[in-house]
């Protein structure tokens, strides 16, 4: 798949594929093995005959710009990526997980940029995480994962984590996030990781505690498609149901055989719904 990269004032911006452009929000925590431009969601969207515009958040991957690590920064970078690619009309915007939270923020804060909105395994903000997200899928009486998630997550939230803590927490959550374990990609924990700092953008997990769009969902003007896996432990169907209840023109689709990433576990089914909505 053809991928073009532009570095503008330290911000890495990508175009993948050809056709009518759309904006794919990257993960603001940058807590993945690869940039969004190399993610399977970008490839799936390009496979619809659309040109995918995305970027690396400041301080992550190929972006060298100093980071602020807040929601305003993510929205500013999205607008900048569109301007670099000379997109002046409202554009389709897609986001998965915390990238979906950023896409929602764009639809609420800068509605003139958003034509249609797709949120995959997404949520309204930090209170939704507390109500339904990990570690609610584990029991403190039965599962050691509950205790591990609480301990590792607390260290990250307090800024006391290191690279080993970061990787262990990601691995723990990722294993729980797939129905088909063959799709799990784990970080390799290297000797000395406990002496190395966590990635700079892991600070997002402290920033996101200030984000809550629940009371503003009615401001979303764009037609919205919500996709979620039935067995998603990070953003369970209740998160998307809350979005569907609050966003005026929203359609919800639940994928029965998927966890947090239905575009990986049920790609053909996801692509069908995306095609019907976007093409």
What span, in angstroms and rounded, lies between the C-alpha atoms of 172 and 188? 13
Contacts of 158 (CB under 8 A, 6+ apart): none
Give 33's pLDDT tier (boundaries 50, 70, 90).
Answer: confident
- Residue 44 has a CB neighbour count (10 Å cut-off) of 17
Condensed to tens digits (0 to 9), the pLDDT of residues 7-32 reads: 999 999 999 999 999 999 999 998 88
Domains along the chain? 3-130+213-278 (3.40.50.1820), 134-203 (no CATH)
pLDDT higher than threshold 80 for residue 257: yes
In eight-state DSSP terms, residue 240 is H
Q: Which residue has the tokens 């190399």?
A: 38
Condensed to tens digits (0 to 9), the pLDDT of residues 45-100 reads: 999 999 999 999 999 999 999 999 999 999 999 999 999 999 989 999 999 999 99
- What is the pTM (predicted TM-score) of this model? 0.96
- Residue 156 has a CB neighbour count (10 Å cut-off) of 22
Condensed to tens digits (0 to 9), the pLDDT of residues 185-202 reads: 999 999 999 999 999 999
Give 233's pLDDT tier (boundaries 50, 70, 90).
Answer: very high
Give 159's pLDDT tier (boundaries 50, 70, 90).
Answer: confident
256 CB-contact burial (10 Å; exposed 0-12 / middle 13-18 / buried 19+): exposed
Query: Which pLDDT score is estimated for 278?
Result: 93
In which order are the strands placed within the sheet that holds 20-24?
Answer: 3-8, 11-16, 50-55, 20-24, 91-96, 114-120, 224-229, 250-255
Q: Where are the beta strands (DSSP E) in the chain?
A: 3-8, 11-16, 20-24, 50-55, 91-96, 114-120, 224-229, 250-255
Q: What are phi and psi of 175, to 5 degrees?
A: -60, -40
Condensed to tens digits (0 to 9), the pLDDT of residues 205-226 reads: 889 999 999 999 999 999 999 9
Tokens found for residue 108: 């609420």
Give 1's pLDDT tier (boundaries 50, 70, 90).
Answer: low
216 CB-contact burial (10 Å; exposed 0-12 / middle 13-18 / buried 19+): middle
In eight-state DSSP terms, residue 65 is S
How would you classify the pairing of strands 224-229 and 20-24?
unpaired
Q: Where are the beta strands (DSSP E) in 9-79?
A: 11-16, 20-24, 50-55
């Amino acid at each position: 798949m053809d991928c073009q990269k532009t570095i503008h004032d330290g911000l890495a911006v990508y175009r993948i594929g050809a056709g009518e452009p759309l904006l794919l929000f990257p993960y603001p925590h940058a807590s993945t093995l690869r940039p969004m431009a190399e993610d399977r969601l970008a490839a799936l969207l390009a496979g619809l005959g659309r040109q995918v515009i995305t970027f690396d958040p400041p301080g992550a991957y190929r972006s060298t710009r100093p980071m602020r690590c807040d929601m305003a920064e993510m929205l500013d970078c999205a607008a900048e990526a569109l301007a670099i690619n000379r997109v002046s009309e409202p554009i389709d915007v897609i986001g998965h997980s915390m990238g979906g939270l950023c896409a929602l923020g764009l639809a609420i804060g800068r509605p003139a940029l958003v034509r249609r909105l797709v949120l995959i395994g997404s949520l309204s903000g930090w209170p939704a995480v507390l109500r339904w997200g990990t570690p609610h899928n584990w029991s403190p009486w039965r599962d050691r994962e509950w205790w591990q998630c609480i301990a590792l997550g607390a260290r990250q939230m307090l800024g006391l984590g290191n690279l080993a803590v970061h990787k262990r927490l990601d691995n723990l959550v990722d294993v729980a996030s797939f129905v088909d374990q063959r799709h799990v990609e784990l970080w390799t924990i290297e000797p000395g990781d406990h002496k190395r700092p966590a990635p700079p953008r892991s600070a997002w997990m402290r920033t996101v505690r200030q984000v809550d769009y629940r009371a503003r969902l009615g401001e979303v003007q764009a037609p919205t498609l919500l996709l979620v896996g039935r067995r998603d432990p990070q953003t369970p169907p209740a998160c998307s149901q809350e979005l569907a209840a609050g966003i005026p023109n929203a359609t919800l689709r639940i994928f029965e055989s998927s966890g947090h990433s239905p575009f990986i576990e049920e790609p053909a089914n996801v692509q069908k719904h995306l095609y019907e909505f976007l093409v």
